[in-house]
Every structure is written in structure tokens, then in C-alpha cells.
Amino acid sequence: MNAPSAAPEASTAGAPPRAEGRPARGQRQFRELGVLLAVAILIFATWLYNPGFLSSQGVHDLFLGATVLSVLAVGQALVLITRNVDLSVGSVMGLSAFGTGILFVTFPGLPVPVVMLAGVLIGLVCGLLNGLLVTTARVPALVVTLGTLYAYRGLNHWWADGGQVNAHDMPDAFLLLGSFSVLGVPLPAAIAIAVVAAVGFYLARYRSGRELYAIGSNADAARLSGIPAARRVALAFAANGALAGLAGVLFAARYGTVDSTVGTGMELQVVAAAVVGGVAIAGGVGTVYGAALGAVLLTTITAALPIWQINQFWHQAVVGALILAAIGLDRLLALRTARKLRGGGARGA
Amino acid sequence: MDPAEVPPPLALVDVTKSFGSVRALRGLSLELRSGEIHAMVGENGAGKSTLVKVIAGVHRPDGGQVLVDGRPTEFAAPVDAQRAGVAVIYQEPTLFPDLSVAENIFVGRQPRTRLRTIDRGRMRRDTEEVFTRLGVHMDPDRPARGLSIADQQLVEIAKALTRQARVLVMDEPTAALSGVEAERLFTVARTLRDSGAALLFISHRFDEVFSLCDRITVVRDGAFVSCDPTTELDVDTVVRRMVGRDVSSLYPKEDAEHGETVLEVDGLTRHGVFADVSFEVRAGEIVALAGLVGAGRSEVIRAVFGVDRYDAGTVRVEGRPLPPGRPKAAMDAGVALVPEDRRQQGLVMESSIERNATATRRGPLSRLGLLRRRTERDSAREWGERLNLKFGGLTDSVSTLSGGNQQKVVLAKWLSTEPRVLFVDEPTRGIDVGTKAEVHRLLSTLAGQGLAIVMVSSELPEVLGMADRVLVMHEGRVTAELDRDEADEESVMYAATGQRPSEAA
Ligand SMILES: Nc1ncnc2c1ncn2[C@@H]1O[C@H](COP(=O)(O)OP(=O)(O)OP(=O)(O)O)[C@@H](O)[C@H]1O
Ligand SMILES: [Mg+2]
């Protein structure tokens, strides 16, 4: 032995001179609170500027506007956490929205819930296909989903053949979904909130949810720990697809008119929302609460700019600046955490 | 029952495994019996870790059999091995930096409530319990990111212990630990053995192997050499079988002329990490920083080199103050640092061996800004020979090297810069006896040529054998400064554990 085996124990109780702290969880919450605060300040300031912003109609619009984007952002967060990305969500959402509409046209007698479910299923299938391509072909998700972005969109164009589905083709019960409110909260928004809460709970409290973080954090280690990484990733893609499908259904219910271009360009907004909300592109970090809040922030900005009479052209610049700020902030916090953590390691004795 | 009749929980028969042209295992057999701690020793690159990965289900053997309870079994993936009751501590820690320490330990098998949600409270308590058994003070809720190598190793150990496996395989678990932590691990290992588990222990430290293990298997070049009860062996025999020749003196420290003071560190303080650290190093002198894991040794040299910041104090090299927080300035002043964590800080794992070995000297090796391939290769080859590097080809990626051989590449990378002051953090972590002597000889020669060396080492024999002076740290403070003739096991250990003040010596 290179140590006297009667290892002296007495000293170990002495308080080591170190800064204690639990930066990890605290910091993450800090991030979500930050986004929430930004939303609150923006809404408050805009309201001061023009109280019409918070008229009941204004609130209603705000809720509805954020709904589709947050549902998509929640799904995207699932995928980003595993260190993948899904660029096809806009196309999947479009396909599901159009599919929902066309089902009403072709089978007018079909009950509304069945059609809605079918819309979600379309998304699920598209997402599962993405997942299987990524995990079996071992091609980076960026490339695969860039391909399916165009493939799904092309399919949609071919299916629609230049046509569109109008509101009068859809049953009133379905369209009512878009305007129905419970306690002042529009039903779609209530659905979105339920989705966020459910997925958030799943990610935090279930083994398979935590394993998504593990996979994104260190894929090799995940394999060594016996985590079925391919299956988990494929399912994350499938879930994301299903949520994109749900977003498509909600979109159809709200606007009533759908053609084959629904959701075009949506993918970048979705990724932006997730990143602003603290979900790291590099995987392993972030929550769906953050992603949803990011979506709310982006929507609020979109709604507030016209009230401030700021040219819409600035919109993209503002979003861009926000993303850079978010990434910069992350970097800064990461450095600070690293510094703190290095100080407060373990005491091996 | 007669133990001979019970089939061993795990046995390997004639296992072979090749990576391209490298034959890592050529017919190795091994039997792990219940209630026994089995040691495996061999040079760097002998195939120990490859064997571990076969047992773990990471690699599938090309030939031969894995027997579980006497029955031939195929481990297609790590899960299969885990299901068969095998737990493995890998040589290189494989943690999830973004997950908490507790989650790292229990990932994939977190305790659950009746609703199948994770029982965080229990996970936390279980983590604390295993840490108490190991004598570790670590917050279960902190993320694994930023843990020192030793702490990562401890988390890995905790992970394996909580699996309550029938077969526990430990690939150099103590390489970054000091005697006290290692001894705690051994206590736990002995308890496991006595409760009937089969253990495999791999280490380059013979004192550990001999005090802990019941039988010792020696491997060389991927082949079985011998397997005998420890009581029938001695260190020299084992070393001879391992290396295939006699390794005469393990620590050939030559006396060197001590010249001018080259490095002066005065009152260095970083709140919460270390306080008021002062020392001087003269040309030709080797100063060792000893202490327990987490005593702040690595942190001190990282701060001096400028990788970490510090709150107070000064650093001077050859009389000129070194600006804090600027590694580049330190390098320009002739300071080099061989870091503790080779995978994170020392190497670019996917890059070639020659690229890594010469990464610090792009300047001198290039002409007109272009790197000269020939010079790069020649230089890498020369260092490879000096350090007995075992590799397929110089253009292979570093990640294919065995752990000890990776360490040699890191050493080559920094030693070849011909610095004035050299900081080495665990210079021989994972390096085998033969090469260890070579590294020590090298350090000693460099000191003889007037280099000032500051060495952090958790291996007491290395500290005592190599150092002209030993600074012992305890919880962020220097508790003793011992000259070569006053430093012995006792005086260093007392100071390291803060038991007696420095007059202990
Ligand atoms: N993935 C791989 N690809 C190519 N060669 C490999 C790979 N893994 C191991 N090797 C080679 O196989 C041989 C045995 O390596 P191994 O890691 O088993 O050695 P070891 O006995 O554990 O050594 P150490 O004491 O240094 O840890 C080495 O020559 C190594 O370069
Ligand atoms: Mg090894």
C-alpha cells in the first residue's frame, strides 16, 4: 500500500475552504425565468404604449398565435435534447393540416375527434420515418430532415394539386375549437399548455425522459450504460412528428383555410424559439418549458412590433439579435458555472 | 460445496480480438471466481482494457468464448453483460456532463415510485449512502461537468458499486486516486468479495495488486503468460513476466546541481479552492506536490500556468512576473503544463498520433508557415521510441491507443517543447512499470539539464523517489514542506490528512 492503511480519519470533517453552491439547477431555472420576465416586460410596455394590446381580443389572438409555435417548439426540444434536429416540422405540420382538411372534404360524415387523431397520426408517421432514417442510416439528422423537409412538402403539393380546403368544407364543431374558450383561455392554448406540462413532467420524471438528456450529453457513455439510444432517438422524432401533426390540426381549426403551403419556413422559427428558451443545439440541456416560453416570446414580439409602429422588416433582425443574445448568455453562464464547479469539487477524504 | 465444482460466474476461454492489423488479444483465458479478487497486470497496450470491453459487451470477440456460470454466452451489447450481473469501471470515465452526479450513477435504473416516476429523494439518499461508504464528499445534485479526473473516477466507482453485481471489473480505478481514497475502495472491494462477488482488478501499482488481490494473471502482447496465487509471487517475478526482461531500478533519480530560482509563487490564493500557497523552485530541482484528491494541487498548478484565474498572489518566472490567466504568456516564458485529464485537456482524440505529439511545436517544425510533414513525422517517431509507444501507425487516431500510450503522447507533446519550467500533473497515470522508470529517468535527466519541475502525483512512491522537495497540501493549504531526506510515507501522509502540523517530519 502506498498509504498507511490506518488512514487517519479525524481531519475529514474539517470544513474545506470552498465556495459551495448548486449552480446547475438554479441556473437553468434562471434562464426560463429570464425569458418569462422578458415576455412580461414586453407585454407590459406594449400595454402602456397602447392599452388596446391587452383587450380581450388582443389576449385571445396572442394566445392563439403562440399555440402552434409552442407545440412545435416542445416537439423540437425533445429532438434537440438528444443532440439531433428536425428541420422537416414545417412540412409535417403542413401535411397534417392539409390532410385534416381533405379528410373532412372526402368523408364529410367522419366524427371530428377521429379526423383530428388522423392528423396527429400523419405527423407521427412522418416523424417516425425521420427517426428511423436518422438512426438506421446513421446520416446526421440535419441532412436527413433537410431531405424530408422537401420530400414532405413535395408530397403535399402533389396531393393538393394546387387546390385548397376552405372553411365551409369543415364542420362547425371543428372550427369552433379555434374560437372556444375555457375560463378565458382559448381551447387550443389550453391544449398546448397541457402538452407542455405533460412533456415537461415526462422529461423530468421518467427514466426514458432522462435518458434523452443522457444520449444528448454523451452518446458513447449512453451506449456503455445500456441505454437503447437508437430506439429512444427514433421515438423522440416520432413524438416530435406527432406534435407537429397536432400543430397542423390546431392550425386548420383556427384558420379554416388550408392549402399545401401551410407551415412553410416554420422550422427556423421553431428552432429559434427552442434556442431562445435555453435548449442547447449541442444536446443534453434545456427544458420544454423554456422552449414554450421562447415560442411565446417570439410570438409576442411579432404581435408587439406593429403596435410600436416598427417596420415588420425589423422583425427578423430582432429575432436574430435575440438568438445571438441567448447563445451569448448561455456561453457566459456556462463559463461561470465551469469556474464555480472547478472550485467546488469533491473531497475524496 | 467444493468450490471447484461450482462453475465460475464468469470465464473467458481463448478469446481473440483484432482491430485491423493490430492483434489486441491472441487467445486470452481468464477465470473469475466467486469470493475472489483477481488481478490482471501487463504493459501498456497488452490488451487489458480490450479484454475488459469484451467482458462488458462493448467489443465482440473474434474468437473464443465467454462463459457465464459455465454456459457459453454472447454479449451483443453492454446491456447483456449488465443483465448477466457484470458491472464495469472503465479506464476512461464515461460520464454525462449535463446530468447530475446522482443521475450519472443511476442512469437507466433510477429508483422509481409506484407511478413509475423517478424517486428523486431515494436516488439522492442512495447516492449519499454509497458516497459515505467510499468516504466521498460530493454534492449529488451538482452536474458531472467540471469534475476532476479523480472525482469522475469516484463517480464511476459509485456507479459500479450500486449495481450490486456478481462480477465487478475495475480497469485502473485507482490511477488518479491517492492512497487514502484507494484504501477506502479496497475496503469496499473486500466486503464485496466476502459476500461472494467475483472481482477483477487492473492496476499498474504493484503495492495495491499485492495487498488486495488473491490471484494475479499476467498478460503480455495480448496473450496469457501466467496465473498464480499472490502468495506464491513477488513483485520482481511479476515484472519480469510482464516486461519479458529485468527492470532494474524503478526510480533512478540522479542528483542534479540546483541553480538559480526559476519559479517563485507567492501567496497564491483562490477563494474557496486554495489559500496562501507560496513556493520556489530552482533550476534542476524537482518539487512534488503531494496530498489527497481534492486538496487543490492540480488547481494550484493550473492557476500558476494561467488556465484558471486566482484572486491574490504573484507568480514570477526568472524574476519576471507572469500575468494571471494567460497560458500563452506562460508558454512564451518557457512554462509547460502536462494536464491531468488527457482526454479533455491533453489530446485531440480524433487526430493522428503525430499531429497530437507535435501540436505544441507547430512553429519550429514549419517552414514558411507550412507544416513539414517529414519533420513532424520524424520528431513524433523519435519521441515514440524514447517512450516505448505502442501503436499501429503514426497516422492512426489517438483514440485507438491504450490508456497508458495516450498518456505517453501527452508527455511527448509537452516535453518536446524544451521548457524552462515544467508542470506535470500525474505524469505516469496509467503508465506501466517499464515505461514509468523511463519517464522518471527522462524527468530526472531533464532536471539534470537545468529544468525546474513541479510534479503533482498521487502515487507516494513516485513522490518519494523523484522529488528533491515535497510540498504537502491539505484542503487548499500547504501543510508541510519536506526535504528529500525528511520525507517518508508517514510524514507525508500525516501532513496530507492534516493530522499533525508540519513539525511531524
Ligand atoms: N478501437 C481500437 N482500434 C484500434 N486499435 C485498438 C483499439 N482499441 C485498442 N487498440 C489497440 O489494442 C492494443 C491493446 O490495447 P488496450 O487498451 O487493451 O491495452 P491495455 O492493456 O489496457 O493498456 P494500458 O495499460 O495502457 O491501459 C493496443 O495496441 C491498442 O492500440
Ligand atoms: Mg487499459
Indicate if B236 and B367 belong to the same structural domain.
Answer: no
Indicate if B190 and B157 belong to the same structural domain.
Answer: yes
- CA gap A137, A133 in Å, rounded: 5
- Of residues A65 and B472, more confidently modeled: B472
Indicate if B201 and B58 belong to the same structural domain.
Answer: yes
Torsions phi, psi for B291 (to 5 deg): 150, 175
A278 and chain B in contact, CB less than 8 A:
no
A3 and chain B in contact, CB less than 8 A:
yes
Indicate if B66 and B163 belong to the same structural domain.
Answer: yes
- Of A29-38, B470-479, B488-497, where does the model show the most confidence? B470-479
For residue B107, is it within any domain?
no
Pocket residue to mutate for ligand 1, from B352, B400, B428, most atoms within 8 A of Cβ: B400
Provide, as residue numbers in chain B, all residues whose Cβ is less than 8 Å from the Cβ of A4. Answer: 179, 489-490, 493
Amino acid B361: pLDDT: 60
Name the minimum distance, in Å, from the CA of B29 to any CA of chain A. 23
Q: How many independent structural domains does chain B possess?
A: 3
Complete domains list, chain A, with CATH: 28-40+52-331 (1.10.3470)
Q: How confident is the model at residue A70 (pLDDT cuts 50, 70, 90)?
A: very high
Listed in sequence order, the residues at least 6 apart from A127 whose beta carbon sits closer than 8 Å to its beta carbon are A86, A92, A237, A238, A239, A240, A241, A242, A244, A245
Indicate if B328 and B461 belong to the same structural domain.
Answer: yes
Indicate if B53 and B174 belong to the same structural domain.
Answer: yes
Percent of chain A past pLDDT 90, that is, above it, reads 50
Q: What is the mean pLDDT of residues A308-318?
A: 80
Question: Is there an atom of ligand 1 within 6 Å of B390 CB?
Answer: yes
Provide, as residue numbers in chain B, all residues whose Cβ is less than 8 Å from the Cβ of A343. Answer: 270-273, 299
Q: How many CB atoms lie within 10 A of CB B351?
A: 15
Domain-ending residue, one of B243, B278, B312: B243
pLDDT value at A1 more than 80: no
Indicate if B361 and B228 belong to the same structural domain.
Answer: no
Q: How confident is the model at residue A23 (pLDDT cuts 50, 70, 90)?
A: very low
Element (H, E) at B276: strand B274-282
Q: Which of B96, B103, B130 to mutate to test the interface with A (most CBs of A within 10 A)?
A: B96
For residue B122, is it within any domain?
no
Amino acid B267: pLDDT: 92
Indicate if B19 and B84 belong to the same structural domain.
Answer: yes
pLDDT value at B347 more than 90: no
Amino acid A157: pLDDT: 94
What count of Cα atoms within 13 Å lies in the side-chain half-sphere of residue B138?
A: 37
Q: How confident is the model at residue A97 (pLDDT cuts 50, 70, 90)?
A: very high
| Å from CA of B402 to ligand 1 middle | 4
Give me B171's grid cell.
480497469
**CA-proximal residue: ligand 1, atom 2 (nearest):** B400
B301 burial (CB, 10 Å; 0-12 / 13-18 / 19+) is: buried
For residue B106, is it within any domain?
no
- Picking from A4, A205, A224, the nearest residue to B493 by CB comes out as A4
- CA gap A285, A267 in Å, rounded: 20
What is the complex's ipTM, to 2 decimals? 0.83
| Å from CA of A338 to ligand 2 middle | 29
Domain-ending residue, one of B208, B243, B278: B243
pLDDT value at B501 more than 70: no
For residue B127, is it within any domain?
no
| Å from CA of B197 to ligand 2 middle | 23
- Which range among A142-151, A174-183, A184-193, B339-348 shows the weakest confidence by mean pLDDT? B339-348
Indicate if B155 and B220 belong to the same structural domain.
Answer: yes
Tell if the CB–CB gap between A2 and B179 is shorter than 8 Å.
Answer: yes
Tell if the CB–CB gap between B78 and A339 is shorter than 8 Å.
Answer: no
Amino acid A143: pLDDT: 95
pLDDT value at A247 more than 60: yes
B417 burial (CB, 10 Å; 0-12 / 13-18 / 19+) is: middle
Indicate if B182 and B214 belong to the same structural domain.
Answer: yes
Q: What is the mean pLDDT of residues B144-167?
A: 88
For residue B248, is it within any domain?
no
pLDDT value at A261 more than 70: yes
pLDDT value at B3 more than 60: no
Torsions phi, psi for B283 (to 5 deg): -60, 135
**Ligand nearest, relative to CA of residue B431:** 1
- Of residues B222 and B390, more confidently modeled: B222
Question: Is there an atom of ligand 1 within 6 Å of B42 CB?
Answer: yes
Element (H, E) at A127: helix A112-137
Q: pTM for the whole thing?
A: 0.82
E strand intervals along A11-168 = 164-165
pLDDT value at B505 more than 60: no
- Which range among A56-60, A144-148, B167-171 shows the weakest confidence by mean pLDDT? A56-60
pLDDT value at B371 more than 60: no
For residue B85, is it within any domain?
yes
**CA-proximal residue: ligand 1, atom 18 (nearest):** B47
For residue B340, is it within any domain?
no
As a whole number, the mean pLDDT across chain B is 85
Q: What is the CATH number of the domain that holds B319?
A: 3.40.50.300
Give me A202's grid cell.
415526462
Q: How confident is the model at residue A210 (pLDDT cuts 50, 70, 90)?
A: very high
Q: What is the mean pLDDT of residues A160-166?
A: 88
Amino acid B435: pLDDT: 79
Give me B478's grid cell.
500547504
For residue B141, is it within any domain?
no
- CA gap B52, A322 in Å, rounded: 49
Q: How confident is the model at residue B43 (pLDDT cuts 50, 70, 90)?
A: confident
Tell if the CB–CB gap between B208 and A228 is shorter than 8 Å.
Answer: no
Q: Residue B270's closest CA among A286, A345, A49, A161? A: A345
- Picking from A226, A284, A345, the nearest residue to B98 by CB comes out as A284
Name the minimum distance, in Å, from the CA of A275 to any CA of chain B. 17
Q: Is the dihedral of CA B325, B329, B335, B338 positive or negative?
A: positive
Indicate if B414 and B424 belong to the same structural domain.
Answer: no
| Å from CA of B222 to ligand 1 middle | 9
Q: Which of A2, A9, A25, A342 to mutate to test the interface with B (most CBs of B within 10 A)?
A: A2
Cβ A259 vs Cβ A105: under 8 Å = no
Largest CA distance in chain A: 87
Name the minimum distance, in Å, from the CA of A85 to any CA of chain B. 18
pLDDT value at A84 more than 90: yes
Amino acid B315: pLDDT: 93
Question: Is there an atom of ligand 1 within 6 Å of B50 CB?
Answer: yes
- Picking from A5, A10, A214, the nearest residue to B107 by CB comes out as A214
Indicate if B83 and B179 belong to the same structural domain.
Answer: yes
- Tell me chain B's radius of gyration from C-alpha atoms: 23
Structural domain including B62 reads 10-95+147-243
